[in-house]
Chain A
Amino acid sequence: MPFPTRTSRRRALTGALLALGLTMATGACSSDGDSAGTPGTIKIGLLASLSGTYEAVGTELRDGFELYLRMHDGKLGGHKVELVVADEGNGAPTAVPAATKLIKQDRVHALTGVVGGGSVAAVYPLLAEAKVPFVGSNGRPELKDVSRIWHTSYLSEEPGAAIAQYVRDNVRGEVYAIGPDYQGGWDELRGFTDAFAKIGGKLANPDGRTLWTPFPATTNFTPYFAKIKASGAAAVYTFYAGTAAVDFVKQYAQSDIKDLPLYAAGFLTEGGVLNAQGEAARNIYSVLNYSPDLDNAKNRSFVAAWKEDHDGSPTTYAMASYDAAAVLDKAIGGAGENPTPEEINSAIDGLGQIDSPRGTWQFSETTHSPVQKWYLRQVRQDGRALSNTVVGDLATVGG
């Protein structure tokens, strides 16, 4: 047809436009990551204490992860995500059956959350057997093989190690070390005392060893304060969390040693406990990998989104779980079209730097926990409420 008519030309144009439209549509489709036409759903299991002693931390873990999903259209790495939440309860006895259900019955691609270090240790054999990667957002026990274990939180020794130099430089005299008598307490306090001794710091404790208080039985710290007073210490370093943190701080503020500067791992004044401590917590120094007032774009959007449906600011627990979702997002996105748990795990291995509300961090090659910056915070007035305010950067620790 050498002389195309007007009508046929219009028809050709329409056809071309249609074709172009179709290609664009297909293009959009393939960029969604599934050329087979059915975008594969990824199942993620979240195990956290939604009842019992650690309910406050457990709900922060759940809410942090869900917040990331909501801010990213319910997708991780381009795949629609089905989040299966299970209750860890008070520890290993309830965590194991819940994790078994997630791994064997729901067949999740990856597991996240878990408040207690003991729960992680108990769930660990299940993960190894099913070859499912675990991106933990809180408790981290001593583990032999971490090839499928990742943590977005920290190691228990790190807060104390990060603040030791600051305490050494700013306290004139000896420091009294006191902490709860269980694995978490031992690790937290050892992190401080080891680093402190290495740089020439001296403990005020009579035998040079940390004073341990029975956990969780101790509700009254007055007798210990009398001991600290008698030692002539110039400052106190401690770690407590939950109810014990409330009791310790409230009684400290009304004791003989109320004027001694108190330095602590950040959990002493983190989250709901700060509200319960009230005025008693004012001026306490603590070290943590996060504070809601950190000045970076990621953190501003994270805190703003969090405050849309929560009364207070997010805690380090919520932030770590939000980051666990970010890690899975990047890893799943880079693990191919229909990733298996194994492929997701190898993708996590090659992630590199992660942009987070706490600042950028990356997984340590050896421990698979973050190499991250630690911040010095002080409890100060922030509007009507007291809040942990960042007053400086401490060491970058990890690995």
Chain B
Amino acid sequence: MIIQAARWAGPLDAYLIPALDGIAYGLLLFVAASGLVFCFGVANILNLAHGTLYAIGAYTAAAVADGGWATLLLALGVGVVAAAGAGGLLAGLLAPVARRDHLTQALLTFGVALAGGSLLVTAFGPDNLPIKIPAALDGSVAVAGHRYATYRLVFIGVAAVIALLLYLAVTRTRAGMLVRAAVDDADMVACLGVSPARIRLGVLAAAGALAGAAGVLGAPIIGPGPGAADTVLLLSLVVVVLGGLGSVLGTLLAALAVGEIQTLGVALAPTAAPFLLFAAMAAVLAVRARGLPGRLRTGLRLRLRSTA
């Protein structure tokens, strides 16, 4: 009888929870990937250690949070500071190769990711760690006749606030202006007396802070374990490819798209699940014809033309 009722409630009913979950997952990817977008877009650094910064946050949540609200906030603070510090360290390591190409940076940051991953496993062990969240969040609530994880529902709200703050920071603050200026014309910003090294340090630390926040808050969703860094890096790179650089809104839309593909897409076409994400990525790249660098160049040319 219940089954019948569910069927008559309309074909959309079964897809409600996956669609909602796609938003939670997408927002997590947004917070995680926005740091990577900044790194690549502003400092022009392809940071393959970005997933490790997320893992630092997630492991912090496992180590600090004990099921109370205070320790959850403490974990957030410690995780953000630790990951921002790691980002700053990365900027220092990258300073000698700042003028080299992406391949050099990719190799260096990849090496850092491997070493960092090993260090984390040495420190915390090879197992996936449990995350203790406040009891009020650790359950499920009724959403339109379905059960849905309370934590994820709350996470949607928190991540939306982070996204809004980020958007305001980039569009309304002086630091945000510098960031946007550096994306458009790094040389000109340097001529204006802002040290590129300082921008690089600031951007990598900020990216670390974002990844750390994503790690702490996302730990109940993508938990700390040996594979967490790789999962987050891979999905973040897909978001970067889909969303382009230098626009918070583009990153947000791309992250939500990846989230929905991973949940709603899988619910709609389970047999195609292994290929869906990368098929979507290939399609976007094909439509853009020249891919990411091409679009960047076009974008710059357009901006130059419009200022001329």
Which of A's residues lie within 8 Å of B, judged by CB? 51-53, 55-56, 59, 181, 211, 213-214, 216-220, 222-227, 229-230, 232, 242-243, 246-247, 250-251, 253-256, 258, 271-273, 275-279
Contacts and interface: CB of A to CB of B under 8 A. Distances in A.
Given A229-B146, A246-B128, 5 more contacts: A52-B226, A53-B227, A222-B17, A222-B263, A226-B15
A230 B264 contact: no
Contacts, number: 113
Interface string B54-65: 000000000000
Given A254-B139, A276-B130, A226 B18 contact: yes
B88 to A, nearest CB: 28
B301 interface: no
Nearest to B234: A217
Given A224-B270, A258-B140, A276 B21 contact: no
A214 B274 contact: yes
**Consensus secondary structure, chain A interface:** helix
B292 interface: no
18 contacts: A51-B118, A223-B270, A224-B267, A229-B6, A230-B3, A230-B7, A243-B225, A243-B226, A253-B140, A254-B149, A255-B17, A255-B140, A255-B148, A256-B146, A271-B127, A275-B129, A276-B130, A276-B223
B52 interface: no
A213 B265 CA distance: 13
B45 interface: no
B295 interface: no
B290 interface: no
A313 to B, nearest CB: 14
A255 B147 contact: yes
Given A220-B25, A226-B14, A226-B18, A59 B126 contact: yes
Contacts of B146: 229, 256
A277 B222 contact: no
A219 B231 contact: yes
Interface of B: 2-3, 6-7, 14-15, 17-18, 21, 25, 118, 121, 125-130, 132, 138-140, 146-152, 220, 222-223, 225-227, 231, 262-267, 270, 273-274, 277
Given A213-B273, A232-B3, A219 B222 contact: yes
Contact of B130 (A227, A258, A277): A277
Nearest to B228: A243
B274 A273 contact: no
Given A53-B227, A222-B21, A226-B267, A251 B262 contact: no
A250 B139 CA distance: 10
Contact of B262 (A220, A226, A247, A253): A220
Contacts of B266: 220, 223-224
A211 B270 contact: yes
B82 to A, nearest CB: 21
B270 A278 contact: no
Contact of B225 (A214, A246, A250): A246
B130 A229 contact: no
A55 B124 CA distance: 12
A223 B267 contact: yes
Contacts of A211: 270
Contacts of A217: 274, 277
